[in-house]
Amino acid sequence: MKHILSSEQYNRESLEELFTLADKIRNNMKEYSHKLDDKIIAIMFYEPSTRTRLSFETAALKLGAKIITTENAREFSSAAKGETIQDTVKVIAGYADAMVIRHSSDTSAVEAASVEKIPILNAGAGKGEHPTQALLDMYTIKHKKGKIDGVKVAILGDLLYGRTIHSLIKLLSLYDNVEIYGLSKEAFMLPQEYIDMLKEKGIEYKKCNSFDELPKDIDVIYHTRIQAERFEGDFGKEEFIINKEVLDRFSEHTILMHPLPRVIEISTDVDDDPRACYFEQAHNGLYIRMALLLQVLDRA
Ligand code: CP
């Protein structure tokens, strides 16, 4: 059974295969509009979402599938009565052909997949992983930069709880001569296990303390929101805010990415800058998620 649980299940070949399929879909949506006519996709979100839930729902609908969905499964599914994720999946497997899940637990998607009844797609699991976001991020980098080998990427914001960051750096580490720079408040530094993982793959993680320490010709600046819902206490606001003046310190070829939603970390005065590509990035999620649904349901 095919599941999408972690970036760790990908290699360069499977990424290329996914990107090629996403491109084909993007260039000929009509050809794919009945591929999943006989399928039902369950969309179970135990945490808030705009992009991931609605792009998965749109992806399913554009492929001809039907959806059963709960936008607030934490409150309105039987999880509120104490039902386990495994029992929920066993029941949903009687109704649907695949299930997309977002949950506050790092192990939620793996637990759901352990039932082995229907394909599970991890749409964000606690502070652990958000692989489908990272896949669309890599697809966006490939489209914007033309290649991934040799890219210099700065990761900013919440490197501790940011699941998109955790999934993204695992995928970046598959490529040659990638450089990764980290810029965050002390409270939100990248955990050592990820620094060690990068080192094992031959990537020296460069921790920075200011924008001045990032290369001017950096290819990608990837900012993220402080994930305030994941911790108690007050660690203050983001210090490293990208506005026009900051962005103009970097090359005209630098691209500015963000998984969204943003709070204050990217000022709206850069939204019209050609380097800002976070809305295009979010749009790319549709093609990647259509491709993923086709792959897990063996209709690619
Ligand atoms: N990037 C992302 O996961 O956004 P949502 O929380 O809106 O799904």
Active site residues: 51-52, 81, 102, 130
The strand pairing partners of 98, in sequence order, are: 41
Q: Is the pTM of this model over 0.75?
A: yes
Ligand 1 atom closest to residue 50's alpha carbon, by position in its atom list: 7
For the stretch 90-142, pLDDT in tens is 999 999 999 999 999 999 999 999 999 999 999 999 999 999 999 999 999 99
- The CATH architecture assigned to 7-129+285-296 reads 3-Layer(aba) Sandwich (3.40)
52 C-alpha to center of ligand 1: Å?
Answer: 5
Question: Does residue 235 have a pLDDT over 80?
Answer: no
Decide: residue 95, CB within 10 A, 0-12 exposed, 13-18 middle, 19+ buried: exposed
Per domain, the residue ranges of the chain are: 7-129+285-296, 131-282
Residue 283: other Cβ atoms inside 10 A: 15
- The CATH architecture assigned to 131-282 reads 3-Layer(aba) Sandwich (3.40)
**Sorting pLDDT into bands at 50, 70 and 90, what band is 3?**
very high
Q: Which residue of 44, 46, 51, 72 sits with most ligand 1 atoms within 8 Å of its CB, as the best mutation to test the pocket?
A: 51
For the stretch 190-221, pLDDT in tens is 999 999 999 999 998 999 999 999 999 999 99
Q: Which amino acid is at 254?
A: T
Strand 179-183 relative to strand 120-125: parallel, antiparallel, unpaired? unpaired
User: In this structure, is the dihedral angle defined by the CA atoms of residues 143, 131, 183 and 148, taken in order, positive or negative?
Assistant: negative
pLDDT at res. 49? 96
Ligand 1 atom closest to residue 259's alpha carbon, by position in its atom list: 1
For residue 240, which of 279, 191, 189, 277 has the smallest C-alpha distance?
189
51 C-alpha to center of ligand 1: Å?
Answer: 5
